[in-house]
């Protein structure tokens, strides 16, 4: 059948459409952990992350959200009530990790968390993030 040419993520985007993602709400309701714990949103890597997200078109933003949370849908009441797979509120979390641990961002969809390596440049972050988000859609994982 025709639906077999789509993976589950593409099918969700086709059936539900691209969500309107309020970047200010997303940013305001994000927590920072790991290497970003002390500095939070003021860390260079975090600043680059949000700049890259702003540069993304609607589809790439939806795919990023899908990569980290397992769905491209935004709760009706916004990111403040984003739930984990256990039904409890689990805010979107950007968790900083040393770039030596792994090269590409990793997602923990149960916890709405992205492990983001400390990249040396914004261009490197953008390249690795785009690749991670698009490769997961094909069913491949990056190590």
Q: What is the CB neighbour count within 10 angstroms for residue 125?
A: 21
Contact 50, 27 (CB under 8 A): yes
CA distance 47 to 40: 10
φ and ψ at 7, to 5 degrees? -85, 175
**Which one of the listed residues 11, 14, 110, 142 is annotated catalytic?**
110
Is 16 among the catalytic positions?
Answer: no
Active site residues: 110
């Amino acid at each position: 059948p025709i639906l077999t040419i789509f993976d589950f993520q593409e099918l969700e985007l086709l059936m539900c459409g691209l969500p309107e993602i309020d970047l200010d709400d997303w940013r305001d309701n994000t927590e920072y952990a790991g290497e970003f714990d002390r500095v939070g949103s003021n860390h260079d890597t975090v600043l680059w992350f949000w700049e890259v997200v702003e540069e993304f078109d609607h589809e790439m933003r939806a795919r990023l959200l899908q990569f980290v949370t397992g769905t491209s849908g935004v709760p009706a009441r916004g990111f403040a009530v984003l739930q984990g797979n256990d039904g409890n509120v689990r805010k979107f979390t950007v968790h900083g990790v040393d770039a030596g641990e792994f090269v590409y961002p990793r997602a923990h969809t149960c916890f709405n968390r992205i492990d983001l390596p400390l990249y040396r440049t914004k261009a490197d972050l953008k390249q690795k993030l785009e690749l991670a988000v698009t490769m997961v859609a094909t069913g491949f994982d990056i190590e």
